[in-house]
Amino acid sequence: MPELNGSKEREMLLALKAGSHQAFEYFYHHYKRRVYYGLYRLVHQSEVAEELTHDVFLKIWQLRDTVDANKSFGGFLRRIAGNLAVDFYRRVALDRRAEEELIHLATAHHGTLDEELEWGENFKRIQTALNKLPQRRREIFILCKLEGKRYADVAKSFGIGVGTVNDHIVKATKFIKNELAKHPDGYLLLLLVAAFSFLND
């Protein structure tokens, strides 16, 4: 299904906000496959991914009156999907071994962060970890992982090889993982990064 243009999306969002079942069904059919496959990549269980996808759109309908028609529906969708994915892993993280597996899962998922996300205190923790990185490593990590730049383009701008860029990313990711793991909900922050990134792939 083709992407909605700005005016069409705003029109549909206003209809959804007003309680239009037709608008809801339009967004459901437009995004359901993307949401399902993104969640499946996180949970690796088709039944769970299907259930979470259903929950995502149920939550969207329940929160329809909070929709801001002047903002992207994708951002609204990402916040809901990300929160539900975190809730799922919170339920299954019954011991430290499970937490460590979630950390591995989250840091192994490569994606970009959407600029629309409003992280609050969680973002401050991530930003604090980033600020502890060496300057060049921090800049490379931000360009590649937060701004979604291609490794080759970043390598060219810094006058270094792609392998060197990858080395910086690997080391930065490991450092950030260790920093966030010091917090009680650190592994959930890492998962949140992964959960919000899948719709950008």
Tens-place pLDDT, residues 21-47:
999 999 999 899 988 888 887 777 888
Q: What is the radius of gyration, based on Cα positions, of the chain?
A: 18
- Within-domain flag for 1: no
Q: Are residues 187 and 127 in the same domain?
A: yes
Closest Cα to residue 85, out of 51, 62, 120, 123? 51
Number of structural domains found in the chain: 2
- Within-domain flag for 47: yes
- Tell me the torsion sign for CA atoms 179, 175, 198, 92: negative
Task: State which of 60, 76, 92 marks the end of a domain.
Answer: 92
Q: Are residues 87 and 129 in the same domain?
A: no
Task: State which of 52, 77, 92 marks the end of a domain.
Answer: 92
CATH number at residue 55: 1.10.1740.10
Q: Are residues 11 and 87 in the same domain?
A: yes
- What integer pLDDT is reported at residue 160 of this predicted model? 92
- Within-domain flag for 177: yes
pTM here is 0.50
- What integer pLDDT is reported at residue 118 of this predicted model? 41
pLDDT in tens, the chain (201 residues): 445 556 788 899 999 999 999 999 999 998 999 888 888 877 778 888 898 999 999 999 999 998 888 887 877 888 888 788 877 777 765 445 545 554 555 555 444 444 434 444 556 677 788 888 899 998 998 888 766 678 888 999 999 998 899 889 888 888 877 877 776 555 555 555 554 444 444
88-197-49 Cα angle (round to 5): 35
Q: Are residues 18 and 66 in the same domain?
A: yes
Tell me how far apart the alpha carbons of residues 22 and 19 are, in angstroms, rounded to a whole number.
9
Q: Which domain holds residue 106?
A: 99-200
- What integer pLDDT is reported at residue 92 of this predicted model? 65
Q: Are residues 113 and 179 in the same domain?
A: yes
Chain centroid to CA 35: 11
Tell me how far apart the alpha carbons of residues 120 and 118 are, in angstroms, rounded to a whole number.
6
- What integer pLDDT is reported at residue 105 of this predicted model? 52
